[in-house]
């Protein structure tokens, strides 16, 4: 039985009752990319984007902006050929004065836009997040 039986193929949602290891196992079972970023040590937008860039192995020229992240989540993989799908985990996003609710929502909107992009191509893109 699929871990994702109640999870739409293109969604950004709280990690809730899911365990990271189970999400990784399900991505492996489905043959999908698993992207994981642990953001607990980040306190600013630049640090969060840097953590994601390092964890996701984004190119060195990544501009550490929300727009650049959006490009990396769509253009780069799309241009590299057929994609099997994505399971993304952003764990412990900060809640600090320099990365507040507005910044978190903008970041999650980038992932929502990526989910929409991949939905148009009939490719699963599930992103899960948690806050500190």
- The predicted-structure confidence for 75-122, as pLDDT tens digits, reads as follows 877 677 778 999 999 999 999 999 999 999 999 999 999 999 999 999
State the Cα–Cα distance between residues 13 and 69, nearest whole angstrom: 18
Which of the listed CATH numbers 3.30.370.10, 3.40.50.300, 3.20.20.80, 3.20.20.10 matches domain 21-131?
3.30.370.10
pTM summary value? 0.94
- What are the angstrom distances between the C-alpha of 52 and each of 3, 86, 115, 124? 25, 15, 17, 20
- The predicted-structure confidence for 34-62, as pLDDT tens digits, reads as follows 999 999 999 999 999 999 999 999 988 88
Q: Hey, where are the domains in the chain?
A: 21-131
Residue 97, pLDDT score = 93
What's the sign of the alpha-carbon dihedral 13, 32, 115, 72? positive
């Amino acid at each position: 039985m699929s871990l994702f039986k109640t999870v739409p193929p293109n969604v950004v949602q709280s990690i809730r009752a899911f365990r990271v290891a189970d999400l990784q196992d399900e991505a492996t079972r489905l043959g999908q990319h698993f992207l994981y970023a642990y953001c607990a040590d980040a306190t600013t937008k630049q640090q969060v984007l840097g953590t994601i860039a390092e964890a996701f192995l984004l190119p060195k020229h990544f501009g550490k902006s929300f727009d650049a992240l959006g490009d990396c989540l769509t253009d780069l993989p799309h241009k590299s050929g057929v994609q099997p799908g994505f399971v993304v985990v952003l764990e412990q996003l900060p809640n600090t004065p320099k990365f507040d609710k507005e910044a978190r929502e903008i970041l999650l909107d980038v992932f929502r836009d990526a989910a929409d992009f991949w939905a148009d191509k009939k490719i699963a893109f599930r992103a899960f997040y948690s806050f500190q």
